[in-house]
Amino acid sequence: MAELSCEVLVVGAGPTGLMLANWLTRLGVQVIVVDGKDGPTAESRALVVQARSLEIYDQLGIGDHVLEAAHRAEALAPGFGARAFGRIPLGRLGARLTPYPFIEVLEQSRNEEILYDNLRKLGGDVYWESPVTAVVQTDDGVEAKVGNHTVRARFCVGCDGANSVVRKARRIDFEGVTNPHRFFVLDAIGAHGLVPDAVNVRPERTDFLLGFPMRGEGGWRLIGLVRDTNSDGDLDEEDARERMRRTYGVTYDRARWFATYRVHHRVAAAFRDGPFFLAGDAAHVHSPVGGQGMNTGLQDAHNLAFKLADVLRGARRDSWLDRYEAERRPVARKLVATTDRLFNAITSTRLPARALRRIVIPLLAPIAVRVLPGSSGGSRLFQYVSQIRIHYRLDPDAKPGGPRDPVIGRRLPWTGNNHAVLRAACWQIHGYGEVVASDAPDLGMPVHIFPPAPETGLLPGLLYLIRADGFVAASAVPAEAETHFRHAQGR
């Protein structure tokens, strides 16, 4: 039995674990990644890459690779049963908010392949076929039994899915509920009856169908409820095929992949337990509504990587790592609560809910198609779904329950040319009009001055402290910037 050592042991080589390993390796942290599988996933449920995740991919330097592999969904297409009410173009909703104002459809397996290839280019790799059978805390950090190895590390991150070995070993509760319905997911070839190049959302009185366009002629990912249509005692592809044809007028030639599953809405009671952390599905699971599960895990990894690197390099105290749970667990709780309510509204079989869906959706969806593209409500909806509106409580002067600062605690607003400098992956100072570089304090970090950026919340005359993960940590007038920024760096 070999003994291995590292600074961070990453358990699980799915999208979350691979994203974490990529960032840690790039930041100079010694990482060991282990997984019981024999290689990257071949079949996967997750398939949507939201704008915020694409910004993270771009910061890592592989945004173009992801875009080349993805299939763009240019619109949302609401409907009801077999009726489609038109298209809501996504580009108009997010055009001034992000470089990626669309939904990119790229299945989990391809995300993993791209991240794994990049990890190896950075000099890292994965110990495949190496399941973790035990993890314990030691005086120096963590000791784990991994296949035929013993691994000692300063920290351990469980990115090992809903049945996380790390979470169970630490006896961290996984709080929440399981939806009583069973759902199907299938990749269809030669599908018909769907609005092309759009995410199709088709609720019905007792059913729902989600359709995501994929690469290839007539290629679609289809998700919905499955019931025993032919009364043979099995929930199989033919049951799903028949219900789609009869209820939605959707047909297809053949399926590349078919599976059924139950939807869970759960959040871990803690994201940190001493030297142990949870990220991705090990920390939170929820419904596929909104296509945010994989994205939330990718963003967990991005957030945690910089904090671990800061502590391991001596730039921050260990307490800095508590910020990970303080920032990411509220995001997960809100997401799970929102998708749980929405999912229950869509899938409830109670008569009032069925009647409401039958009456309200056909009435409101056609109006939304006309109104949302040019409205502030449509823009805000895009920000929530794309996850660029996530907020962390970083302003010490903010009152609980009071109005939130439009910039502090949020990802840096995009002005058209200010995100490229984030690829340096370090803390930096920004100014937007009416300030010059010499006004910024000398804190040993880059200073970037940009033209005025009206309508973004970035005000002229102020300096902004930007964290390495792209979130705005603080703002101040130049005369007070040094004091404010030194304090903000320590939070």
In order, the DSSP letters of 407-470 are STTBBPPP-SSSSGGGGG-S-EEEEESS--GGGS--SSS-EEEE--BTTTTB-TT-EEEE-TTS
SS percent in the chain: helix, strand, coil, step 5: 35, 30, 35
Q: What is d(CA 259, CA 157) in angstroms, rounded to the nearest whole number?
A: 29
Positive or negative torsion for Cα 232, 235, 240, 246: positive
**What local confidence, expressed as pLDDT, does residue 360 receive?**
60
The strand ranges marked E within 233-281 are 254-268, 272-273, 276-278
Model confidence at 206, pLDDT cuts 50, 70, 90, reads confident
Residue 76 tokens read as 């949302």
Greater model confidence, 325 or 42? 325
Is 367 a residue whose pLDDT tops 70?
no
Is 27 a residue whose pLDDT tops 90?
yes
Q: Are 457 and 407 in contact (CB under 8 A)?
A: yes
End-to-end CA distance of the chain: 42
Q: What angle do CA 39, 35, 288 make, to 5 degrees?
A: 80
Model confidence at 222, pLDDT cuts 50, 70, 90, reads very high
CB atoms within 10 A of CB 412: 23
Model confidence at 466, pLDDT cuts 50, 70, 90, reads very high
The single residue listed with the structure tokens 């979470």 is 167
The most confident of the ranges 71-85, 130-144, 368-382, 398-412 is: 130-144
Q: What is the pTM of this model?
A: 0.92
Here the contacts of 400-407 (C-beta below 8 Å, separation 24 or greater) are 405/475, 406/457, 407/456, 407/457, 407/458, 407/464, 407/472, 407/475
**What local confidence, expressed as pLDDT, does residue 218 receive?**
80
Model confidence at 491, pLDDT cuts 50, 70, 90, reads low
**What local confidence, expressed as pLDDT, does residue 288 receive?**
72
Model confidence at 1, pLDDT cuts 50, 70, 90, reads low
